[in-house]
C-alpha cells in the first residue's frame, strides 16, 4: 500500500513494489528506483542508488511517524502519512475543519449516504458512512451549509483523499 511522505513542504507518494533482503524496488511519485538500504547503526541507514551512497540519520520526532532526517550536508523534517495516521488525524480534526469538502483519509467502501444534494446540513451532522479497515466510520459535516455535490454512490469503492461530499456554507 502506498505511503505519503511530507518532506519539509513537499509531499511524495512512495510505494514499495518489491523487497528482497536489503534490495528495494520502489516507486516515488510515479518513477521507479532500485535501492539498496542497510541499517549501519542504531537509527542510521545507508542508501545506495546507482553506485552513490547516502547515509541517513533518522531521529524520531515528537509525534508518531514524524522524523528529523540528517544527511552529511542537509537535514529534513519528514512525516510518514500512512492510511492509519491519515484516519486518526481526520478523526481528531474532523469537526473543527473549515474545509467545505468531506473526504476519506483512506481507501474504503461507501456504506450509506444520509444526505442528498440541496439538503441543509448542520455542522457535526453525519453525511455518510464509510467502511475502511473492517470498521465503519461516520463522516460528519465540518461546517453548516447546503450539500452542493455528492461525488459517490452507496457501494462505491473509494481511494483515500478523494472528495465525497461538498458543502456550500450558510450565507446570512
Assigned CATH topology for domain 90-169:
OB fold (Dihydrolipoamide Acetyltransferase, E2P) (2.40.50)
Domain ranges, ordered by start, for the chain: 3-81, 90-169
Most confident of 4-13, 47-56, 126-135: 47-56
Phi/psi-derived region of residue 72, left when phi > 0, alpha when psi is between -120 and 50, beta in every other case: alpha
Angle of CA points 132, 137, 139, to nearest 5°: 115
What would the pLDDT profile of 84-110 be if each residue is shown by its tens digit? 555 555 554 443 344 688 988 778 899
In the block, residue with C-alpha cell 528506483 = 33
Q: What is the pLDDT of residue 155?
A: 94
Question: How many CB atoms lie under 10 A from the CB of residue 92?
Answer: 9
Residue 165 phi, psi dihedral angles, 5° rounding: -140, 135
Q: What is the pLDDT of residue 97?
A: 41
Residue 158 phi, psi dihedral angles, 5° rounding: -120, 155
Instruction: Find out whether 55 and 46 touch, Cβ atoms under 8 Å.
Output: yes
Could you tell me which residues are beta bridge partners of residue 147?
Answer: 167
Closest C-alpha among 146, 151, 106, 145 to residue 128: 151
Q: Mapping DSSP to helix (H, G, I), strand (E, B) and coil, where does residue 141 land? A: coil
What would the pLDDT profile of 3-30 be if each residue is shown by its tens digit? 888 888 888 888 889 999 999 999 998 9
Kindly tell me if the per-residue pLDDT of 152 is higher than 90: yes
Q: How far apart are CA 63 and CA 61, in angstroms?
A: 6
Cell numbers representing residue 57 in the block: 540519520
Amino acid at each position: 500500500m502506498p505511503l505519503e511522505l511530507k518532506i519539509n513542504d513537499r509531499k511524495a507518494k512512495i510505494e514499495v513494489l518489491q523487497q528482497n533482503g536489503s534490495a528495494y524496488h520502489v516507486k516515488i511519485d510515479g518513477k521507479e528506483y532500485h535501492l539498496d538500504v542497510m541499517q549501519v547503526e542504531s537509527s542510521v541507514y545507508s542508501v545506495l542508488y546507482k553506485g552513490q551512497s547516502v547515509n541517513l540519520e533518522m531521529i524520531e520526532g515528537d509525534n508518531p511517524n514524524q522524523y528529523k532526517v540528517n544527511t552529511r550536508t542537509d537535514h529534513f523534517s519528514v512525516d510518514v502519512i500512512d492510511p492509519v495516521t491519515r484516519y486518526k488525524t481526520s478523526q481528531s480534526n474532523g469537526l473543527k475543519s473549515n474545509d467545505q469538502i468531506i473526504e476519506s483519509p483512506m481507501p474504503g467502501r461507501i456504506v450509506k449516504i444520509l444526505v442528498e444534494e440541496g439538503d441543509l446540513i448542520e455542522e457535526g451532522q453525519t453525511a455518510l458512512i464509510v467502511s475502511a479497515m473492517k470498521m465503519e466510520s461516520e463522516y460528519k459535516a465540518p461546517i453548516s451549509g447546503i450539500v452542493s455535490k455528492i461525488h459517490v454512490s452507496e457501494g462505491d469503492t473509494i481511494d483515500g483523499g478523494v472528495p465525497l461530499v461538498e458543502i456550500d456554507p450558510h450565507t446570512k
